[in-house]
A and B are shown apart, each in its own frame.
Chain A
């Protein structure tokens, strides 16, 4: 919770405890208001019920030799009252809930359409110009250095691990989502817009939202330039259970001024060095399963050594081996279950249609650059001798 921001708003204290932050759109604020309405209705009902219960229990507690006093066994008027009042209240909730649902689901025709793709376990947003975001950040809220006392040593601790893609959208714009899954069911949730919708493998789903106007205090760190830029970050979570890394299927939605947004997607749309391209694709789409530092994951690491890495033979689940060359990698991206490495399960979805030829070439170039058998050995020189040793001693 961002307390200073909260203190500057006029929301009720309770609403701040429940939702922590402002709803980011009119529809979100509307649904928070409806929630608080239902909350107050419930709270009043609950307090009356519990007060009566406590009063009865204290007042009519058992006393030796005193009988329970008779009272009517039913009372039609009372019973009609406590049937009709809840029914009427619920009718109001139903109608208001329907109204808010329509606000969340229906986007204006002029809305900017973003294509959302999901697979185990990453999100990808494709912009109207065909570009997608290469930028990432860490999951931790303060993703900078934390000076902590650790073990015996006073050491700097740096949060590491996975980075999550950042999707930029312009401020004060109507956005609609067209979503599709490559494998199992996922659910695209932006808590600050108070809306989620399941992402299906067999049809498009979607919803709309209006991005907020930025306040002058809204600043975020641009990881590419390490400068503060106007912007506001929001979490995107997968809300439908989808397997091992479900809890790390997150991303950041970043609201920025129109001109920054346009500059970004223009930059992403221009061709770049294949290795750089492969590196960013790995970071945004592949890193959740495939490490580049040799650590184990759902899929094989791309670092060479121990029988892994570009150029080394892959020991397959069916007992055969296959040379890990460019054709093998291309096949494994487009038809992942054709050759599965021993010790792994066929969990990878096909990226047919997800990655262009240029992007596949970029990925292969990046994998080559990571290997001591690749053409770009100078980049990995420090690690090469060690890696080659262990790779050589590996049994097939």
Chain B
């Protein structure tokens, strides 16, 4: 135990025990500067956007159940009639004010991409779990700038409102990448494209402010005794992410603003008919959007480091290698944007970017080896967080390895812009980040809400998501290699079987998330009260109550052991009888 006397303050309530009265409670939450409340508000807002993006994904898969065909046939009276089959989203044409079923599909995949990237996955882990746990894991009362933190939540919600407004006006069909000159010329007499671009622009500020807040917090607010290399690896992941957010996001902000200028005031920057260069846009866009891939994955990697160490009660293997590889990935991530546009650039540039891209694969591989080595000789619990961590190792390894043929120039010319790429980045983004995020939510759920969840239900949800995910996306690798381009509302007959399997898989994923939703609601209503430290973690969040008190700790904690010294320290809140320590602890530090 790292603090001496907690008896004196026992009457202090948990962070969410507010004033009586519904209105007063809502007012208290809306004006709070408590990082925990803000983290929970982020969690709910982000999950809502995940729901919207998920519905769009299901719609996309539903349209692709069968190819669109115009057929001529005889009806009962022998009269010839022409019918169109397979346009499954055609019913939405009027609601979305679209010209054709194809346009409905194009808006659906744009909506899916834009919502999932800008409103869900970029803020997902750092803004929700990061906000809640970064200060507690540092041993601080709050982030460095609590009011800025609340402001960034409001900016996030404003950005999302712009996006939702654009969707309610019918949505946009630019693709989430807004490639020019298509994005500056499509739907020219409508505001919805501008609204969607502005949504991404506004969300960028939320990202920058959160990133700055975290960088300063990590530098200035570490508890006494916590050196840089005593930080939990989750914080290293969030710290590296924050640096990328602060450095890369301004670039996309400027780029999106230029896009708006070109659309509204016809200033030729990207559109060649006005003297611009469309590939310039792609360079600007990926200069942000490639590093942001690591904004999505680095905090997820941090979660996995925590989950694997805690649930196997083992010191993480190669702590410094994991910490430095996070920073290494953050650095190299700025030098590889060109691999998204091999088919649009000159030969010399393509060769350079191909080489640099392989560089970024190495620190990622090292992390996977380290996690695996951590399991060695552990005491491995099989529960929902650990199942998700194991699922992560499976899917993320596939995601990483299938990136190799994309970095290789000769094979990328075939695979670029096909379903192979779609499958690859879903294995990284969903199989990586979403899977780790779900694992992290289960891991910290008892701490955040003070209630346990149903373990069997959680594991069932995890297995359904895992199985459904692999059915949905593994098929898409074969679609891609066989010649199916991405962003197609229609396809040639030979691809139908694989598309059908993929669509059925998406329904299993839906079932899995519905199980999770049920488990979470049941836990909030009637969950068993959670102990202070249900898993036996050694990081500082397990030294305070579940849920934490408003100021996190009764006294400023002092760090006396490393975050992963499971072989030396009985975890706080545990009886030594229930937690056997090995007879001969490791002599390494």
Interface residues of A (CB under 8 A from B): 1, 17-20, 27-28, 30-31, 34-35, 38-39, 41-42, 45-46, 49-50, 52-53, 56-57, 60-63, 65-74, 78-79, 82-83, 86-87, 90-91, 93-94, 96-101, 103-105, 139-142, 150-153, 155-162, 183-185, 187, 189, 191-192, 194-198, 200-202, 235, 237-248, 250, 298, 345-346
Contacts and interface: CB of A to CB of B under 8 A. Distances in A.
B411 interface: yes
Contact of B354 (A98, A183, A187): A98
A57 B375 contact: yes
A291 to B, nearest CB: 11
A56 B371 CA distance: 12
B521 interface: no
A185 B453 CA distance: 50
Interface in B332-359: 343-344, 347, 350-351, 354-355, 358
B589 A86 contact: no
Contacts of A78: 373
Given A42-B404, A60-B376, A105-B347, A94 B358 contact: yes
A160 B343 contact: no
B188 A42 contact: no
B179 A185 contact: yes
Given A96-B410, A162-B70, 8 more contacts: A20-B483, A65-B580, A67-B313, A73-B588, A90-B404, A93-B408, A160-B82, A239-B485
B31 interface: no
Interface of B: 69-76, 78, 82, 84, 99-100, 102-103, 106, 173, 175, 179, 181-182, 185-189, 272-273, 277-279, 312-321, 343-344, 347, 350-351, 354-355, 358, 361-362, 365-366, 368-369, 372-373, 375-382, 390, 393-394, 397-398, 401-402, 404-405, 407-414, 416-418, 478, 481-483, 485-494, 566-567, 580-582, 584-586, 588-589
Nearest to B271: A201
Given A35-B405, A35-B411, A247-B490, A67 B343 contact: no
Given A101-B413, A200-B278, A239-B417, A184 B185 contact: yes
A97 B354 contact: yes
Q: Is the interface of B mostly helix, strand, loop or mixed?
A: mixed
Contacts of A73: 315-319, 586, 588-589
Contacts of B272: 200-202
B366 A94 contact: no
A195 B381 contact: no
B459 to A, nearest CB: 14
B368 A49 contact: yes
B382 A184 contact: no
Contacts of B390: 53, 57
A243 B319 contact: no
B414 A139 contact: no
A68 B401 contact: no
Nearest to A103: B410
Nearest to A100: B410
Contacts of B493: 140-142
A198 B344 contact: yes
A247 B361 CA distance: 33
Given A73-B589, A184-B185, A194-B413, A61 B380 contact: yes
B187 to A, nearest CB: 7
A159 B70 contact: yes
Contact of A20 (B273, B408, B482, B585): B482
B582 A67 contact: yes
Nearest to B387: A57
Given A91-B358, A94-B358, A105-B347, A242 B182 contact: yes
Contacts of A105: 347
Contacts of A198: 343-344
Given A185-B179, A245-B102, A156 B409 contact: no
Contacts of B188: 345-346
Top 6 nearest A-B pairs (CB, nearest first) are A100-B410, A161-B70, A191-B483, A97-B408, A202-B272, A247-B488
A250 B483 CA distance: 12
B404 A235 contact: no
B375 A42 contact: no
A93 B416 CA distance: 17
6 contacts: A60-B376, A74-B318, A83-B362, A156-B73, A184-B182, A239-B485
Given A38-B404, A74-B321, A345-B189, A60 B366 contact: no
Contacts of B417: 187, 189, 196, 239-240
Contacts of B71: 157-160
Given A72-B586, A241-B175, A34 B411 contact: yes
Given A62-B379, A103-B410, A241 B182 contact: yes
A247 B402 CA distance: 25
Contacts of A52: 372
B492 A140 contact: yes
B362 A68 contact: no
A246 B401 contact: no
B151 to A, nearest CB: 36
A52 B313 CA distance: 18
A157 B80 CA distance: 10
Contacts of A101: 347, 350-351, 409-410, 413
Identify which of A49, A63, A245, A298 gathers the most chain B CB atoms within 10 Å of its CB. A49
A238 B366 CA distance: 38
Given A139-B492, A155-B74, A67 B411 contact: no
Contacts of A57: 375, 380, 382, 390
B74 A68 contact: no
Contacts of B408: 34, 38, 93-94, 96-97, 100
A345 B358 CA distance: 44
A238 B378 contact: no
Identify which of B187, B189, B404 gathers the most chain A CB atoms within 10 Å of its CB. B404
A185 to B, nearest CB: 6
Given A57-B375, A86-B365, A238-B485, A74 B320 contact: yes
Contact of B69 (A83, A159, A194, A239): A159
Nearest to A1: B494
A30 B409 CA distance: 12
Contacts of A79: 318, 321, 366
A337 B400 CA distance: 47
A178 to B, nearest CB: 16
Contact of A184 (B181, B485, B586): B181
A247 B488 CA distance: 4
